[in-house]
Amino acid sequence: MTYSISNIARSKGDPKVLHSGPSSLGAADRMARALGWFSIGLGLAELIAAERITRALGMEGKETLVRAYGVRELGHGIVSLSPDKHLGLWSRVAGDGLDIATLMTAMRHDNPKRDNVGIALAAVLGVTLLDIIGAQGVTARHRRPSSQLRSYRDRTGFPRGVQAARGAARDFKVPPDMRAAPALAAVSDRATQEKAQEKARPH
């Protein structure tokens, strides 16, 4: 489907895309992308429906706090979808801790919506586990061990050896379209010199 859409945007005469290659994204990267979009969706919900959320949890009066958490979730989601996805996921883990602490304040006995709070806590704990797994996976996948520095001492610009490279261009022939270059350069230099002499003459 993706390559069919890409062919529509191609100009006439451009090569066609027959099929797409394998994705370079690992399982951890795909999880980071899913959690990033989930975070953006949750953030929008908290911004748009803050009153409904607080009413369902018996936390009326905390709408401003819920909207602030929504802005935070949007930030987590954007970073989780960026090349620095590990930072986004670890920030989500920290945000999950704040959510759990906030929900715990609503687990009081006089809260008639205490059961809803318990369900929300269970959901947040489950998401927290996914965030930790995703953050650890992305960090491990993209981390370069400091103890294993890359060494290029065995690299050379002459893969077949210096001796084999000597005289390799002996049979080189100047392409026809480049043969006129020296003559054109000489004409250009002569024209430049004449202009300079013309400017130097007293008027």
pLDDT digits (tens, 9 = 90+) for 19-48: 555 556 678 888 889 999 999 999 999 999
Other residues' Cβ atoms within 10 Å of the Cβ of residue 95: 19
Residues 6+ apart with CB under 8 A from 121: 100, 103, 104, 107
What gap in Å lies between CA 12 and CA 19, rounded to an integer? 19
181 domain residue, yes or no: no
What gap in Å lies between CA 188 and CA 135, rounded to an integer? 62
- Chain centroid, CA 48 distance in Å: 27
What gap in Å lies between CA 44 and CA 73, rounded to an integer? 8
Residue 1 confidence (pLDDT) above 50: no
186 domain residue, yes or no: no
43 domain residue, yes or no: yes
CB-based burial label for 100 (10 Å; 0-12, 13-18, 19+) = middle
Residue 178 confidence (pLDDT) above 70: no
68 domain residue, yes or no: yes
What gap in Å lies between CA 53 and CA 40, rounded to an integer? 16
109 domain residue, yes or no: yes
Which pLDDT does position 144 carry in this prediction?
A: 63
77 domain residue, yes or no: yes
Closest CA to 124 of 144, 152, 104, 142: 104
* Domain boundaries, position 118: 26-142
State the pTM of this model. Answer: 0.58
